[in-house]
Amino acid sequence: MTLKHLSRLPAIILAALALMTACSHGADDEAARIARVEQDLLPSVRVRGRSYTPASIEARMRHFGVPAVSVAVIHDGRIAWARAYGMADVESKRAATPATLFQAASMSKPVAATGALVLVQEGRLELDRDVNETLTSWKVPASDLTAREPVTLRRLLTHTAGLTVHGFEGYAAGEPVPTVVQVLDGSPPANSPPVRVDVVPGSTWRYSGGGMTVMQLLMADAAGTPFPELMRRRVLEPLGMRESTFQHPLPASLAARAATGYQAGGEPVEGRYHTYPEMAAAGLWTTPSELARWLVGIGRLAAGERGALLRRETAQAMLTPGLGGWGLGMGVRGAGDSLEIRHSGSNAGFRGQFVGFPHRGEGAVVMANSDEGGVLVSEIAAAIAREYGWPGAAAQEIVAAPVTPGVLESYAGRYTLPNTPIELSVSRENGRLFFGMGGGQKAELVPTGRDAFRDAVGGGEVTFERGRDGRVAAMRVGGERLPRTP
């Protein structure tokens, strides 16, 4: 067609042709962005003087032995793309797809927090009221500590309620599953200690899956509805998360779409995955795309859009950091367009991470079905951040301090988080220090000063404490103190 003939076309057809061309270019640009993310995995934390070579997602999956990883990316306030790689189940050779369900693990907490805030708006709960005034099926045991300050919903959401129990192991197939009350009391068949207040509520930040389990019971008591049904009606369906569920055990109708979790070394979790009665803390089954819908919803809440799940002032409270840099249900840092929310997740056989910028309409969710997936998940999230130019996307740099082999060896040992089965091992290998949990993935500890280190995966600070005899007595990680095991 000549330019002369083209000029005679109706304006509406010319506009449609222009739109088709723009969409084609947009699709090409998006494909190029996806390809760059897929080929540009690098550590988000790097040690000065060391060289790093970009690797592909597939290469890093092989390196770590991760069967499957699934990704969803938010751009301009919408889910821009979603991809899945590898096998949801190795034995049956079932490929992972963007519709494959993964355990969100601790990423369940901020979604559950959204449900709690809906109940606050309904007048069924209050943020600053003693939870024992609402709980009917169980009470937080009274003590001198709770007499000084009460356990409140706000403190449960911000991990400042003074409650014990960091996390949960779940229950393998065939094992008896306790009720929520049995979990909270640590009574059989629960495999975790009792959830109790052991510091003054409101006095300090300490991550507590136990506190979120108290919140789960509080929500169910207040609404008079089982927790999974409450979350389905008030959060999941309104946000379009219709394929997600908090039900445990997982309904048989969804089992065929669920990824199998894998242990370090490649063996599947017994029965494919664990059951978590601690649903608010660890129980959400979802896909990266569906969890991304929740992230998009948080952005709309922050903008105060009509028809949004929460009022703008409630969303602003949710996104306001307090002790430990924690908002109502998630980690929060920055301000304005740079305000960032994030959470990670770690269940038996599953690892995940989300990051979102509510005021920019940007974010990502990455989920893997392996205990060895933590580093891979972080590397993919970092590659997405670099590609889309998010705040803080530049790699953190650690300047290593010189430490003699004998000093490094003095830190080696086992360290246990009080009142939990969580134990970290520290070892010296090839002149460097590493720490990890059980037989799973290890992270290097890079020395930065006397008894001070940085985690080479996430960049977090790790410090060691010495006793009066000069020997290492404990380590501090993420605000938690872990005494050395004799």
Q: What type of residue is 19? A: L
Domain boundary among 344, 362, 380: 362
Q: What gap in Å lies between CA 407 and CA 220, rounded to an integer?
A: 52
pLDDT at 439: 62
pLDDT at 132 over 50: yes
Confidence label for 9 from pLDDT (cuts 50, 70 and 90)? very low
Q: What gap in Å lies between CA 44 and CA 386, rounded to an integer?
A: 10
pLDDT at 19 over 70: no
CA distances from 155 to 140, 290, 298 (A): 13, 28, 21
Quote the pTM value: 0.88
pLDDT at 17 over 90: no
Domain region containing 154? 102-362
Residue written as token pair 């105060």: 304
The verdict on 237 and 358 lying in the same domain is yes
**Average pLDDT over the chain, rounded to an integer:** 92
At residue 345's C-alpha, the angle toward residues 92 and 440, to 5°, is 65
When pLDDT is averaged across residues 241-265 and rounded to a whole number, the result is 95
pLDDT at 286 over 50: yes
Q: What gap in Å lies between CA 159 and CA 147, rounded to an integer?
A: 19
* Phi, psi angle pair for 168, to nearest 5°: -135, 150
Preceding peptide of 176 cis, ω within 30°: no
Note whether residue 325 is domain-resident. Answer: yes
Note whether residue 116 is domain-resident. Answer: yes
CATH of the domain at 286: 3.40.710.10
Helices and strands: H and E segment counts in the chain: 15, 19
Q: HSE-up of 355 (CA within 13 Å, CB side)?
A: 19
CB atoms within 10 A of CB 342: 17
pLDDT at 130 over 90: yes
- pLDDT tens for each residue of 397-430: 999 999 999 999 999 999 998 877 788 999 999 9
Note whether residue 152 is domain-resident. Answer: yes
Both tokens assigned to 135: 């709980």
Note whether residue 34 is domain-resident. Answer: no
Domain boundary among 329, 362, 395: 362
Q: What gap in Å lies between CA 224 and CA 286, rounded to an integer?
A: 25
Q: Whose CA is closest to 294, among 345, 339, 247, 231? A: 231
